[in-house]
A and B are shown apart, each in its own frame.
Chain A
Amino acid sequence: DAGVIQSPRHEVTEMGQEVTLRCKPISGHDYLFWYRQTMMRGLELLIYFNNNVPIDDSGMPEDRFSAKMPNASFSTLKIQPSEPRDSAVYFCASSLRSGGKWYEQYFGPGTRLTVT
């Protein structure tokens, strides 16, 4: 299995531009998570999906952030307009819940976003 795939690995953009981060979860996993990592705040959960449906988006910082999961194999996190304080590493993770048992979250390599 290729693991969780994220693209791009690095993104540099100017303030005010739209940014789209992409994630392909592990095939068969039914949960998908978006996290943000910064030096100041550490790792924060932004949103997570179950079977493509958003379950908890309380971690999304503001309306400039949106996430979608149109199908089981693809999710996007969009920032519009971007601001310098959005600079961070964004991680996608996926996991499986089967027979009432939780399985570990597998993380992608992350997208390092720099907004100038």
Chain B
Amino acid sequence: GNSVTQMEGPVTLSEEAFLTINCTYTATGYPSLFWYVQYPGEGLQLLLKATKADDKGSNKGFEATYRKETTSFHLEKGSVQVSDSAVYFCALSANSGYALNFGKGTSLLVTP
């Protein structure tokens, strides 16, 4: 079946540090890949997406590249801010439907 594995948190970084959150997936066919962000007390928001191999999704300084050869979609940001503190979810949507399979989430805390 389809599944997503992402690194466990929490991840604690100082402001302006470089961020990487690892995500790998298992899927049949050619899934679309997503990163969602959840701020405290809120629902999930789409951060970025990629729909085919080698696509790079980007938004608000975050980037992730769809790597089919390594079945990965790692999230990166060059310089994090305190306001980036949140839980980040990697997810996939298989060709056969639009329902999302989520990873367990990675909590990020950025300190001043």
A and B found bound together: yes
Task: Give me the interface of A with B, judged by CB distance under 8 Å.
Answer: 4, 31, 33, 42-43, 45, 48, 55-56, 91, 93, 95, 97, 102, 104-105, 107-110
Contact, CB under 8 Å: A56 / B99: yes
Interchain CB contact under 8 A, B99 and A45 = yes
Is A43 a contact partner of B105 (Cβ separation < 8 A)?
A: yes
Residues of B within 8 A of A109 (CB): 41-43
Contact of B102 with A107 in the complex, beta carbons under 8 Å: no
The answer to whether A48 touches B43, judged by C-beta atoms less than 8 angstroms apart, is no
Query: Could you tell me the distance in whole angstroms from the C-beta of B71 to the nearest C-beta in chain A?
Result: 19
Contact B49 A108 (CB under 8 A): no
A108 partner residues in chain B, CB cutoff 8 A: 43
Please report B residues at the A interface, Cβ cutoff 8 Å.
32, 34, 36, 41-46, 49, 89, 93, 97-105
Instruction: Across the interface, name the chain A residue whose C-beta is closest to B89.
Output: A43
8 smallest A-B Cβ distances: which pairs?
Answer: A107-B43, A43-B102, A42-B104, A107-B44, A104-B46, A109-B43, A45-B99, A102-B98
Q: Give CA–CA (A95, B45) in the complex, Å.
A: 13
Cα A91 to Cα B70 in complex, Å, equals: 31
User: Closest Cβ of chain A: how far from B44's Cβ, in Å?
Assistant: 4
A104, B104: Cβ atoms under 8 Å? no
> Given contacts A4-B43, A110-B43, are A45 and B100 in contact (CB under 8 A)?
yes
